[in-house]
Structure 1
Amino acid sequence: MSSNPTNSTDVFIPNFKTCDEVNEQCPVEAQMYGDYFTKSACIWFTLLYFTCFGTQMFYAWRSKAWSYGAWLGIGTVFEGMGYAARIVMCDDPWNFYAFLVQNLGLVLAPTFIAAAISIIFKHLIDWYGSEWSLFRPALLPWILVGSDMVSIIVQGTGGAVSSMASNKNGKEAKDLMDVGNGLLLGGTIFQVVNMVACGGIMLLYLWKRQQALGRFRSRLGSGGPQDSSKSSSGRGQYDFEATLKVYIWSLVVAYNLIIVRCIYRAVEMASGWGSDIMKTEAIFITFEGQMILTAVAVLTIFHPYVFFPVAGRGGIDRARRSVHSDIQELRPMN
C-alpha cells in the first residue's frame, strides 16, 4: 500500500501503514530495525525451538507434569513463532503482521519460561520439606506464577501499544510509542525484580534447610553410621538425590540466563525504539537469542521426566507412600 504524497506540501513518512514493500520511498533503513534480519539465524532458531517443543510434549505426556509442560511449551512456541515471523520479515521488512507476531512473541516468551521454573520451585520445596519455606508449597504457584502473570500482562500491553504505534503517523505515533515503550520497560524491570525476589526466596529456603541439617548432624555426633546414604540399601535414594542435584543446577543456569536476557531488554527499551542497540542484530542474537535458546535447551534436556520424575501429578505423594511401605517391610516381625 505504498503511496505517493498527495501534493508537494505533503511529507511522506515510511511506516507500516504507508509501506508494504522495500522501495525507494520505503527503504529498509527507515524501518526501526534498520536492516534485514539474518535469514539463516532465524531459520536455525525456529527449527530448534519447535524441536524442543516436540520433545517437551513427549516428556510432559510421559511425566504427567502438565503445569510445567504447559508454561514451558507456551514459552517455547512463542519463541518459535517469533523467529518464524522474522523469517517472513527477511523477505519483507514492512510486513506489519509479521512484525506484530515477532514483537509480542519474543517479548512474552521468556516470562512463560520463567513461570515454568517457578512451578518446579514448588515441587522442590514439597520434596525437601516445607518446614523451611516462607510460604506453604500450595501457595507458591499463586505467588510466583501470579507475579509472572503481572509481567506478562504489562509487557503484552506494551508490545501491543508499540505495535499499533508503528502503524501511525506524527504525534499520535510518538505518544503511543512512548506509552508502549514505558510499559515494556516497566514490565521488563518488574520481571527482573520478580525473578531476583523468587530466587531470593529459594536461596533463603536453602540456607534455612542447611542450617537445620547442620544442627541435626551436630546433635547426632560422630557415633552414628557414616555414608549410610551410600550403603547398598540406600543406593537407589542416593542415585536419585545425585540426579536431582544435577537437575537443580540446570534450573539455576536457565534461570540466570533469563535474567541476563531481561536486563538486556531493559537496556534496549530504555534506549528507545530504533536505537543503535535495537538495530545491532549481533547484540540481539547474543543477549536475546542465545540466552533464551540455551535456557530452553537446558530445560528440555534436563527435563523433570528424567531428572525429577516425582514432579508429575501426585508423584511426590506416591514416592512418600512407597518409602513408607519400604520402611514397613524392613521392620522386624515380633
Structure 2
Amino acid sequence: MSNDTTTATEEVLNTVVGSVNLYTGKVVYQYFNYNVDSLTALIFAGVFGLSTLIHFGQTIKSKHWFLMYTLVLGGLIETLGWLSRYWAGQVAEWAEESGGYWASPRNAFLFQIIFLIIGPAFLAAANYILLGRLIERLGQRYCRLGYKTYTGLFIGGDLISLIVQALGGAMASMADTTEGADSGARIMVIGVIWQMVVMLAFTWLLVEFIFRYLKDRPVRQVHPFAWTKNARARIAEIEANGGHCPAQMTWGEERRAKWMLASISGSTLLIFIRSIYRTVELLDGWTGPLISNQGLFNWLDGVPIALSLVLLNVLHPVFLLPVQPRQKNISSPMDYGNNRNSHYISSSQTRLQEPQAYY
C-alpha cells in the first residue's frame, strides 16, 4: 500500500510544471534555467512585431531607406527572438531520463540567444546614422568629426560588435559541453562590451554636440582620414566655405530636430541599460542567479529594447527629419550665415553674421 502511494505521488509530481528531479530533489532544465512564460514572450513578440510593422510604413513614407536595414531589420530580429521564447515555453515537456528534467527545443534556445543578443545592434546603428544626418543639418562645426566620418566610424564599430556577438551566440547555443557554452558566452561578452565602448564614445560626442549647439560654441574638427584624396578635397572645400555652416532651417524645423536629438538620446540610454545587464548576466555564467531569473530578463532586456523601438516610432524621422532635396555645394561663406542663429529664414531676408572663433 505504501509503495503504491509513493508511486502515485511521483507520477503526479512529474506531470506538472515545476516537477523535481527524482534523484536530486531539485527542478532540472535542459537549456533554460526555467520554464519560459509563453504569455509574456507572446506579448513582447506582439509589441515588437507591431512596432516593426509601423516602422516599415514610416520608413516608406519618410524615404529614409537606411531605416529598413536598421530599425525595421532590428525589430524583426527581436520579434523572431521572442517568438522563439514563446515556442520554447509552449512545447516544454517532462523527460524521464536521468531522474527527469524539463526539456525545451534546442532550436528555440539557439534562435532566441542569437536573435536577442544581436537585435539591439541594429537599433544602435540607426541612432548613429540619424545623429550624422542631424549634425549635417544643425551644423557640422559643433562636432569634432565630419558627419560622414562620424557615421562610418560608429557603424564600423557597431558592425564589429554585431559579428562578435553573433559568433559567440552561435557557439554557445550549439555547444555540447559546459566548457563550449562558456567559451561562446565569453565571446558574446566581448561583443557586448565592445558595443558599450562604442556607445560610450557615441554618447560623449552626442552630449558635446548638443552642448556646443545650444551654446553656439563651434569646435575645430578632427580629420582622421586626412591622408586620403577624398578627405583632402572635402577639407579644402570646408576651408573655402569658411567652416561648417548649418543648412537653412526654419524655427519649426530646428525645433523638430531637437526632438529628434531627444529621441536618439533616450533610445541610446535604453540600449545601454540593456547592454550593462547582458554583460553582467553573461559574466555570471549559464547557471548564475541573473541568467536564471526570468523576470530580470524580461525587465532589463525586453522592456528597454521595446521602449527604444517604440520611442523611435513616436519621435520618428518621418515627423521630425523629412528628407531634403539635394542642394548645390556652398560656393561661398556668404551663401549661408556662419552663426547658428543665421539659419532662421524669413520670407524677406536671411540674417548673415561673421564667423565665430572655435572653442
**TM-score normalised by structure 1 residue count:** 0.76
CA displacement at 1:213 relative to structure 2? 5.0
Quote the offset at 1:132 in angstroms: 2.6
Return closer, same or farther for 1:194/1:86 CA change in 2, 3 Å cut-off.
same
Deviation at 1:274, TM superposition (A): 2.1
Q: Within the alignment, does 1:79 sit opposite 2:78 as a pair?
A: yes
The answer on whether the counterparts of 1:32 and 1:274 sit within 8 Å (CA) in structure 2 is: no
Alignment of 1:132-281 (within 5 A): 132-165=142-175, 168=176, 173-213=177-217, 237-281=250-294
Secondary structure in 1 aligned to 2:250? helix
Counterpart position of 1:18? none
Report the more deviating stretch, 92-101 or 116-125: 92-101
How much does 1:211 deviate?
Answer: 4.5
Letter of the aligned partner of 2:45 in structure 1? T
Contact 1:32 1:279 in 2 (8 A): no
Equivalent-residue separation in structure 2 for 1:327 and 1:301 (angstroms): 27
**Structure 1 alignment gaps of length 5 or more:** 1-21, 216-235
Query: Structure 2: how far apart are the matches of 1:316 and 1:270?
Result: 48
- In structure 2, the partner of 1:301 is 314
Q: In structure 2, which of residues 127, 147, 151 is the aligned counterpart of residue 117 of structure 1?
A: 127
The answer to whether 1:285 aligns with 2:289 is: no
| More displaced stretch, 206-215 vs 182-191 | 206-215
**2:67 paired with 1:57:** no
Note the C-alpha offset of 1:239: 2.4
Q: 1:78 Cα shift?
A: 0.7
Identify if the C-alpha distance between structure 1 residues 162 and 140 changes in structure 2 by more than 3 Å, giving closer, same or farther.
same
Alpha-carbon distance in structure 2 between the residues aligned to 1:159 and 1:277: 18
Greater per-residue helix proportion: 1
**How far did residue 264 of structure 1 move?**
0.2
- In the aligned structure 2, how far is the partner of 1:91 from the partner of 1:122? 43
Aligned to 2:88: 89
Distance in 2, matches of 1:327 and 1:287, equals: 45
CA positional deviation for 1:210: 4.1
Aligned to 1:19: none
The aligned counterpart of 2:13 is none
Shift of 1:48: 1.2
Partner of 2:240: none
1:211-240 deviation line (CA, Å, top 9, x unaligned): 54599xxxxxxxxxxxxxxxxxxxx92223
User: What is the one-letter code of the residue matched to 1:44?
Assistant: I
Equivalent-residue separation in structure 1 for 2:165 and 2:43 (angstroms): 26
2:340 alignment partner in structure 1: none
Is this contact kept in 1: 2:274–2:304, CA < 8 A? yes
2:57 and 2:302 mapped to 1: Cα distance? 24
Distance 2:322 2:346 in 1: 23
Residues 79 and 109, structure 1, Cα contact 8 Å, conserved in 2 = yes
CA distance in 2, matches of 1:239, 1:92: 53
Assess if the C-alpha contact under 8 Å between 1:68 and 1:120 holds in 2: no
Match of 2:348 in 1: 330
Provide the C-alpha distance between the structure 2 equivalents of 1:29 and 1:84, rounded to a whole number of angstroms. Answer: 23
1:179 is paired with a residue whose SS is helix
Stretches of structure 2 that go unaligned for 5 or more consecutive residues are 1-18, 93-103, 220-248, 337-343, 350-359
Change (3 A) 1:213 1:132: closer
**How much identity, in percent, do the aligned residues show?**
24
- CA 1:317/1:29 → structure 2, altered by over 3 Å: closer, same or farther? farther
CA displacement at 1:24 relative to structure 2:
7.0
Q: CA deviation at 1:316?
A: 6.8
Report deviation, 1:142: 1.2
Question: In 2, distance between residues paired with 1:268 and 1:289?
Answer: 14
For the 8 Å contact 2:212–2:218, the answer to whether it is kept is no
